[in-house]
Amino acid sequence: MPSSAFTGTKFRLHTIIFSCLVLISLIPVLLLGLWVQQHSLDNEFKAVKEKHLIIAKNLSREFQRYITDTKSAFSFVNSVQIPPENHIYSKALLSKYGITAACIFFPDKAPTNRFSNTPCSFELTPEQKTVLRNMSGNTQLSDLTRINDRPAFLISKALDNQARAVGVLETTYIKESQRSIAFGERGHSMIVDATGKVVAHPNEEWEYTSKDASALSVVKKMMAGTTGVSTFYSPPMQAEMIAGHTAVPGEGWGIMVPQPIEELTDNADDVHLAVIIISLMGLTVSTFLSWIAARHLAQPIERISRSVASIATDKISSISPVKHQSQIVIKEVDELTHLFNNMLRELQTTGKALRVQQETLERSVEERTAKLQEEIKQRAAAEQKLRLSGQVFGSANEAILITDPNLTILEVNPAYCKIMNTRPELVIGAKAKFGDLSEHKPATLKAMWEAIEMHGSWQGEINGIRYDGENFPKWLSVSAMHNDKGEVLNYIGIFSDISPLKTAETQLKQLAYYDQLTALPNRTLLYDRIEQSLQRIKAGNIQTAFMYLDLDQFKQVNDTLGHAIGDTLLQHISRRLTDLVKATDTVSRIGGDEFTILLHDVAGKEDVEQTAKAILESFRTPFLINNIQISIGTSIGICMLPEDADCVQQALKRADMAMYEAKSEGQGHYHFYDAEEGRKLNDSRELQQDLVQAIHDNQLFLLYQPIVDAHSGEIVSVEALIRWRHPQKGLLTPDTFIALAEESNLILDLGDWVIKQACAQALAWQEELGFTLPVAINLSAREFSNPELVERIQSVLSTTGASPDMIEIEITETSAMKNTSMSTGVLKRLRGIGINISIDDFGTGYSSLAYLKRLSVDKIKIDRSFIHDLTNDDTHAAFVKLIIEFSKELGYKVVAEGVETEGQQSILQELQCDFIQGYLHSKPVTAARITERYARAETLLV
């Protein structure tokens, strides 16, 4: 009999015995648990029903008492005549019971407040008024209604003359009582009125909207006055509920105390768990005892089964004879044991012989296996190398071809076919062409094969021809493969198409030497072209002209039409300029709106002048861009090579100078470089650069010219006048350098320096003289238009410690009248901080006395040109008189400038001029001379 039969018999016997014993012990345990669980649930439901009913009855009695007390309080307040001074107590009594408003409703007039003659604080709908009229008896309570969009009750008492006292009873107390009832997780209470409307409920929507719950079965029972315990489904709780319910006697209200049934079953879970635990414990004990009994009865057969299993796994030598260890011996089992032990001894003897033969066979197999594994490894390595080489050959981006010693193509890779525009079947077997040598010297091919023969390889750039005839640049590498004898077996050619590199090289050259917007040569290429032209000039008797063009009012185009239109305009201009010159000439763009033209091999200035006129004439034709006609001009500066310049920088500089001279003549002009004009312009630029250094090296200083009282001759203030002590050019007056400073931002730095020096000197005079001597400071038009002027002056005053009354600001009439709205604002701000203002050179600008009314100034300074001819020109005298009279009408003081004679002073005194300034009293002098004059207390003589 097979061993599996013994194993199966043992398993079935043991299982049957064990299962029977377990089932016998399990049935009574389960029956006991079920009885205990059912008995516990019945007791739990009974207790809950009684509790819920008791709570509902208690709430019913509480609300009956509350309603009775509320009616009594309301009836008392409206039955007794209470003095007005005690109304506060009546209100407090009603508020205690939740009555928030009380009014008297009359049949023939508007309702009024119960405690004052003011209008009632709430209104009743027609339906609510009908309900009140239908109320009978003394004091009545309505069903739940809405007052001012909130749920409330109306409490009413009939008065004399068919009037009725009506109060608003809030549901606050009822809701608080409802919320005080809570048990379990969702156990609560619910109150409805006699119509089934919800008065208090945990669901806020039901409560706020007075939900009509009359359709619920339990509500119907309450409205019918039934007291008891019922089950129903609650929509807001979404659960089956059990509830104790009753009604409020005399009012018809319903009260119920519901709780989800599932919470009750949750309480029974503990009992259920205890029953399960006890059942499991009993089952565990019975299972253990059943297992021991089944094991004891099946033990002998189990031992035989294990021995048979060992035989099946070839463990015969380790098996011991089976012995009885059980106290219970079965006869059939004992016979089976003896037969098994005999069979076991025979098997062990046979097994020993088989093991010896097996060991010999295994050694032989191991040796053969080792040899096969080594051969497999070698073949795998060779195959891997072949696969790797094939992958490299097939996936390489470079073209690869293999030939025999006669240059017959044996193999090509996919990259070769892609680059050469061919297919493998068309080239294999054909002669290889490593390069097209038609464009190269014959020596190139010879040199290539000599290098291959000598070094075994060659590489370099060469022109290639695709099979469709297209030429392309390629980088070629050719290598020779030799055998052990040194004989050539194959040639391997590897090349790549370097057309993209050549294209990139061209693009880089384009970026480096050409303007990206107009595609014209840029500054770098221009320099190279000029240098080449100068070299050709040196080699032969030729002449070249260099033009420098600057567009007129191009910034206005950008500001008004936008930069996109401006860029397009530059492109149109570049094409128009290119069309006007020869192909050998160079048109370039070197800046935003700056172009240059290099005219090669010109006949003379007349030839260049014709070209310049043609350019200016072409600009008279408007440019049409996006249906917009744009008119723009240009100014041209011309420099002749080598007559005017012999290097690149000199050519640029002198053409630029000539261009500025052209601009000074007005728009649309050209100008040839003139050495004398260039020298002057160069001197001006050098002087402008020197001025920067002068500000930092203290080469500047101030002189002061007194302004005196026209009648007493006493100095009332001084005017600060700047001078420059140039290291090479000596003393320079303002007319030499102020205009240069105004052309750049230097005028702002220069102005700051003057204000600082003037403030410092005013402080020094105050300390030396004991009083304030104001210093007048001239502001240029550029300074006056600076938006930060006031802040800059305040900063200097703060830094130096000077007070505003120590300085006066002078601006020219032209500056003040240029932008009157801006001028008015700035002058008001300056006067607002305590600085006096003077209008300088009056009469030379707009000469508008009417505008003086709009300016906030203190003094008017009449220009010296009117004072000079005062004694012999009646017109000037009349004009000066008019200025003085009009200024005095406006409350301004008048200063006459350039007073040099006693006659001029006499006339000004007669005209009631306030102050005079000029050489009659003093030239501009140093600060020390001013101090000395006060020290001597005498008139300064020069």
Does residue 68 or residue 834 have the better pLDDT? 834
Q: Is the pLDDT of residue 382 over 70?
A: no
Question: Mean pLDDT throughout 887-892?
Answer: 86
Distance between CA atoms of residues 773 and 776, nearest Å: 10
For 842, other C-beta atoms within 10 Å of its C-beta total 25
> Which one of 169-178, 198-207, 645-654 scores highest in mean pLDDT?
645-654
Asked if pLDDT for residue 628 goes beyond 70, the answer is: yes
More confident: 37 or 798: 798
> Of the given ranges (226-230, 535-539, 674-678), which has the lowest mean pLDDT?
674-678
What's the pLDDT at 201?
A: 79
Model confidence at 942, pLDDT cuts 50, 70, 90, reads: very low
Which tens digits make up the pLDDT trace of 59-84?
Answer: 878 877 888 888 888 888 887 777 88
Q: Is the pLDDT of residue 800 over 80?
A: yes
Burial class (CB in 10 A: 0-12, 13-18, 19+), 692: middle
Q: Are 458 and 435 in contact (CB under 8 A)?
A: no
pLDDT band at 806 (very low <50, low <70, confident <90, very high): very high
Q: So what's the pLDDT on residue 911?
A: 92
Span 310-330, pLDDT tens digits: 665 666 666 666 665 554 455
Highest mean pLDDT among 154-163, 370-379, 528-537, 703-712: 703-712
Q: Is 844 within 8 Å of 865 (Cβ atoms)?
A: yes
| Six-digit token string for 894 | 């008048």
pLDDT at 909: 93
Average pLDDT for 217-221: 81
pLDDT at 378 over 80: no
Sequence-distant (6+) residues with CB within 8 A of 786 are: 748, 792
DSSP annotation of 939: -
Task: Please state which of the ranges 825-834, 839-848, 923-932 shows the lowest mean pLDDT.
Answer: 839-848
Mean pLDDT of 857-883: 87
C-alpha–C-alpha distance, residues 620 and 667, integer Å: 12
What whole-number distance in Å separates Cα of residue 714 and Cα of residue 49? 118
Which DSSP string do the residues of 442-493 spell out, in sequence order? HHHHHHHHHHHHHHSEEEEEEEEE-TTS-EEEEEEEEEEEE-TTS-EEEEEE
pLDDT band at 98; cut points 50, 70, 90: confident
Q: How far is CA 787 from CA 177, 516, 784, 887, in A?
A: 75, 37, 8, 28
pLDDT, average across residues 200-221: 78
For residue 576, the SS3 value is: helix
pLDDT for position 439: 46
| Token pair listed for 648 | 């690149």
**How many CA atoms lie less than 13 Å away from 175 in the CB half-sphere?**
17
Which pLDDT band holds residue 255 (cuts at 50, 70, 90)?
A: confident
CA distance 304 to 295: 14
Average pLDDT over residues 37-62: 73
pLDDT of residue 572: 95
pLDDT (0 to 100) of residue 5: 40
Three-state DSSP state, 845: coil
The answer to whether the predicted template modeling score (pTM) of the entire model surpasses 0.85 is no
- Condensed to tens digits (0 to 9), the pLDDT of residues 130-185 reads 887 777 667 888 887 888 888 888 888 888 777 888 888 888 877 777 777 776 67
CA distances from 134 to 71, 156, 164, 432, 497 (A): 18, 11, 12, 122, 109
What local confidence, expressed as pLDDT, does residue 9 receive?
Answer: 45
900 residue type, one letter: E
Are 302 and 14 within 8 A, CB to CB? yes
For residue 803 the two structure tokens come to 């007070």
Contacts of 6 (CB under 8 A, 6+ apart): 301, 304, 305, 308
Q: What is the pLDDT of residue 544?
A: 93
Residue-wise pLDDT tens digits, 100-135: 888 988 888 888 888 888 888 888 888 878 887 777
Higher-confidence position of 278 and 18: 278
In this structure, what token pair is assigned to residue 419? 């680059």
Q: What is the mean pLDDT of the chain?
A: 81
**DSSP state, 184?**
T
For the stretch 7-25, pLDDT in tens is 444 445 557 666 766 677 6
Long-range contacts of 816-820 (CB under 8 A, 24+ apart): 816/784, 816/845, 816/851, 816/855, 817/845, 817/846, 817/848, 817/851, 818/781, 818/785, 819/785, 820/851, 820/854, 820/855
Separation of alpha carbons 23 and 93, rounded Å: 76
* pLDDT tier, 571 (very low <50, low <70, confident <90, very high otherwise): very high
DSSP helix/strand/coil, 759: helix
Look at residue 849 in the predicted model and tell me its pLDDT. 56
Interval 914-937: pLDDT, tens: 999 999 999 999 999 998 888 765
Q: Comparing 528 with 873, which gets the higher pLDDT?
A: 528
Residue 926 confidence (pLDDT): 93
Q: What pLDDT score does 618 carry?
A: 94
Share of the chain above pLDDT 90, in %: 22
Q: Which residue has the higher pLDDT, 358 or 551?
A: 551
Better-predicted residue by pLDDT, 448 or 48: 448
pLDDT at 437 over 50: no
pLDDT over threshold 90, residue 756? yes
pLDDT of the residue at 567? 94
Distance CA 259, CA 538 (A): 116
Q: How far apart are CA 647 and CA 650, in angstroms?
A: 5
Mean pLDDT of the 209-223 span: 79
Residue 857 has pLDDT above 70, yes or no: yes
Least confident range from 385-389, 463-467, 756-760: namely: 385-389
Structure-token match 């402008």, residue found:
688
**Mean pLDDT confidence for 879-899:** 89
Residue with tokens 């009725």: 164
